[in-house]
C-alpha cells in the first residue's frame, strides 16, 4: 500500500499549498467583478457550444446522479460579484448541489467564539448568495486552528486532526446553528486517507473525529446528512480500517473522490483492481455491505484537467483537451447511472479557474476558464441534464 499511496501524496502537494494560502488569508478589496452573465448571452464561449460532447442515446436525466460543483466561495480571489457570476453559471449548468469548503481555522483562529470581524461576515455573505438560489449545499468542514493542535507548526496543524475531537464537533455544531437553514449536508474533512491533507492518515483518529461530529450535527441540524470525508480514489482498504475503528453508524452518506490515473484515462477503462479506477467503486460498495451499510455513495470530487502534456508529465498530472474533458464528463455520469445506481450525487471539481494560480493542472479542472467563461464541459452538463435555453 505504501508504494501506490506515494503517488497520491505527490498528486496533492500543490493543492495543499494553494488551499492553505487562500483559506487563511483575509479577503482584500477586489477591483469589482463582471456583471452576471445570462446563460443565453453571446458572451458564452462559442467553444462551449460547438465542442460540447453529445452522448449517443442519452439516459433520462432523472436516472443520473444529482450533479454538484465544487464551489470555492470562501476563497479570497473572489469578490461578491464574481461569486454571483460563478453561481449563475453553476445553476445554469444543470447542477443541483454545490460543495463549499469552509475552514475551521478561518472561522475560529483563537479559542472561544468565531471571528465576527471578518470570517463570519464572509461566510454570511456567501450563504446569503446561496440562499437566493435553488441549489443544495454540502459544507466540507476542515483545517484545524493552531490552538486546537499540539503541532508546533501552524501549517502542519491545519492538516492534522485536533487533539480533542470535541473541539471540532463543537465548531461544526456552531456552523450548523448559524447556517443550517442553507446547508443540507456536512462532509467531515477532506481526503483523510491522504497524508498531505490528514497527517498520519490514521483511520482510528478519523473515526473518533467522525463519531464526535455526528451526534452534534444530528442535534443542531436534524434534517441534514453527515457525509464521510471524501476518500482520495476508491480506497476500500482504508475504508475497512475506518469501519474496524468504529466509523460505522457515524455517517449517512459514504463519499469518495473518483479520479482516474493516469489522469487522462477514460472513465470506461476496465477495472484493474486499483483504487484509482472509477469502476473500483464496486469494491467500496462491497466493503460497505460487508459492514452492514447500504447507505448512498456520493462522489464529492471527480474530473479531468485541460492542458497539454509533454514527455516529462507525470501520469497523475496528465491533461486532456476541452472536447475530451466534456466527453469524459458525460461518459462518467452516464456510466454511473447505468452501472452504479447507488451513487446518488457526483460533484465536478471545480467551479472556475483561479487567475491567481500558476498550477495549470489544478486550474484545468475548472468548468469555467480564468475569465469565468464556460468550457465545453458546461454545455455537456446542460445537454445531459436536459437544460434548455
- pLDDT of 148-166, one tens digit each? 999 999 999 999 999 999 9
Q: Is the pLDDT of residue 12 over 50?
A: no
CB burial readout 34-48, b (16+ within 10 A) else e: eebbebeeeebbebb
Q: Is the pLDDT of residue 338 over 60?
A: yes
CA distance readout (Å), 351 to 52, 268, 336: 17, 24, 21
Which grid coordinates are listed for 272? 484493474
Cβ count near 113 (within 10 Å):
10
* Alpha-carbon span 256 to 349, nearest angstrom: 13
Which grid coordinates are listed for 79? 469578490
Q: Which domains does the chain carry?
A: 2-23+49-384 (3.20.20.80)
Average pLDDT over residues 118-131: 98
Cβ count near 179 (within 10 Å):
22
Paired with 348 in beta bridges are: 69, 302
Q: Is the pLDDT of residue 48 over 80?
A: no
Output the average pLDDT for the chain. 87
CA end-to-end span of the chain: 48
Computed on alpha carbons and rounded to an integer, the radius of gyration of the chain in Å comes to 20
pLDDT attached to residue 42? 33
Helix (H) or strand (E) holding 166: helix 165-179
Q: Is the pLDDT of residue 46 over 90?
A: no
Residue 386 CB partners (closer than 8 Å, separation 6+): 61, 94
Length of the chain in terms of residues written: 389
1 pLDDT band, cuts 50/70/90, is very low
Residue with cell string 457525509? 227
* Alpha-carbon span 212 to 233, nearest angstrom: 25
Cβ atoms of 98 and 90 within 8 Å: the answer is yes
**Predicted structure pTM score:** 0.88
Q: In the Cβ-directed half-sphere of 201, how many Cα atoms lie within 13 Å?
A: 20
Q: What is the pLDDT of residues 57-73, one digit of tens each?
A: 778 899 999 999 999 99
Cβ atoms of 146 and 105 within 8 Å: the answer is yes
Paired with 65 in beta bridges are: none
* Alpha-carbon span 306 to 308, nearest angstrom: 7
Phi, psi of 146 (to 5 degrees): -60, -35
30 pLDDT band, cuts 50/70/90, is very low
Amino acid at each position: 500500500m505504501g508504494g501506490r499511496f506515494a503517488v497520491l501524496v505527490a498528486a496533492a502537494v500543490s493543492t495543499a499549498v494553494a488551499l492553505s494560502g487562500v483559506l487563511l488569508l483575509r479577503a482584500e478589496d477586489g477591483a469589482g467583478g463582471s456583471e452576471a452573465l445570462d446563460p443565453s448571452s453571446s458572451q458564452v464561449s462559442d467553444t462551449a457550444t460547438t465542442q460540447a460532447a453529445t452522448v449517443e442515446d442519452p439516459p433520462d436525466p432523472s436516472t443520473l446522479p444529482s450533479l454538484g460543483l465544487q464551489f470555492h466561495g470562501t476563497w479570497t480571489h473572489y469578490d461578491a460579484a464574481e461569486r454571483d457570476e460563478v453561481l449563475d453559471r453553476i445553476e445554469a449548468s444543470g447542477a443541483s448541489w454545490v460543495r463549499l469548503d469552509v475552514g475551521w481555522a478561518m472561522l475560529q483562529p483563537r479559542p472561544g467564539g468565531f471571528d465576527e470581524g471578518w470570517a463570519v461576515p464572509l461566510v454570511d455573505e456567501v450563504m446569503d448568495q446561496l440562499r437566493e438560489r435553488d441549489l443544495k449545499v454540502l459544507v466540507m468542514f476542515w483545517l484545524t486552528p493552531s490552538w486546537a493542535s499540539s503541532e508546533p507548526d501552524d501549517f502542519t496543524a491545519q492538516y492534522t486532526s485536533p487533539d480533542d475531537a470535541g473541539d471540532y464537533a463543537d465548531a461544526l455544531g456552531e456552523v450548523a446553528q448559524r447556517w443550517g437553514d442553507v446547508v443540507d449536508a456536512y462532509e467531515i474533512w477532506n481526503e483523510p486517507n491522504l497524508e498531505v491533507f490528514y497527517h498520519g492518515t490514521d483511520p482510528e483518529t478519523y473515526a473518533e473525529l467522525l463519531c464526535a461530529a455526528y451526534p452534534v450535527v444530528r442535534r443542531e441540524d436534524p434534517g441534514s446528512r453527515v457525509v464521510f470525508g471524501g476518500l482520495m480514489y476508491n480506497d476500500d482498504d482504508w475504508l475497512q480500517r475506518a469501519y474496524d475503528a468504529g466509523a460505522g453508524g457515524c455517517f449517512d452518506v459514504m463519499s469518495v473522490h473518483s479520479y482516474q490515473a493516469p489522469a487522462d484515462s477514460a472513465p470506461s477503462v476496465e477495472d484493474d483492481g486499483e483504487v484509482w479506477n472509477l469502476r473500483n467503486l464496486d469494491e467500496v460498495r462491497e466493503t460497505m455491505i460487508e459492514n452492514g451499510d447500504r447507505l448512498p455513495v456520493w462522489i464529492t470530487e471527480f474530473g479531468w484537467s485541460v492542458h497539454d502534456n509533454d514527455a516529462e508529465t507525470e501520469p497523475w498530472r496528465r491533461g486532456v483537451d476541452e472536447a475530451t474533458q466534456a466527453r469524459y464528463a458525460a461518459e462518467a455520469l452516464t456510466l454511473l447511472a447505468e452501472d452504479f445506481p447507488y451513487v446518488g450525487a457526483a460533484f465536478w471539481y471545480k467551479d472556475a479557474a483561479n487567475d491567481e494560480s500558476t498550477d495549470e493542472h489544478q486550474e484545468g479542472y475548472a468548468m469555467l476558464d480564468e475569465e469565468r467563461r464556460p468550457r465545453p464541459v458546461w454545455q455537456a452538463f446542460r445537454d445531459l441534464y436536459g437544460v434548455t435555453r
